[in-house]
Amino acid sequence: MKSAIQIVITAIVCFMFQKLFPWWTMAIGAFLVGFIFSNTVFRSFLAGFVAIGLLWLGLALYVDNATQSILTEKVGQLFPLNIFVLTSLVGGLIGGFASMTGALLKP
């Protein structure tokens, strides 16, 4: 239950950070939430990974829908992978490691 709450709070905090500041500030948000919650290191990583991965997937789908897939098709020609999977994976790893770092620094 605590992990589910951490996932939701991480997604909300990081969404707000990304709307107000550059994209990399979501790592600061995931770090802060990982520091505040007293989960294990693995659970904290998993919560950050899931929260940011799903957040970036949702934002990528929103941008894809808003631009009528123009940018997605052009970037998709550069990478053999699905661009949405790649976006979610990169965001999830950044969020997971940031949240894990916050959990590791908690005394």
Kindly report, residue by residue over 22-42, the tens digit of the pLDDT: 999 999 999 999 999 888 899
pLDDT at residue 71, as a whole number: 78
Q: What pTM does this model have?
A: 0.88
pLDDT at residue 14, as a whole number: 94
Give the tokens for residue 3.
């992990």
pLDDT at residue 43, as a whole number: 94
Report, as ranges of residue numbers, the positions in the chain whose pLDDT lies below 70. Answer: none
Domain assignment of residue 92, given as a range? 2-105
pLDDT at residue 42, as a whole number: 93
Residue with tokens 């940018």: 71
Distance between alpha carbon 101 and the CA centroid of its chain, in Å? 14
Distance between alpha carbon 55 and the CA centroid of its chain, in Å? 6
Counting the structural domains of the chain, the total is 1
pLDDT at residue 106, as a whole number: 81
Q: What are the helix (H) ranges across 1-107?
A: 2-20, 25-36, 41-66, 70-76, 83-105
Distance between alpha carbon 19 and the CA centroid of its chain, in Å? 13
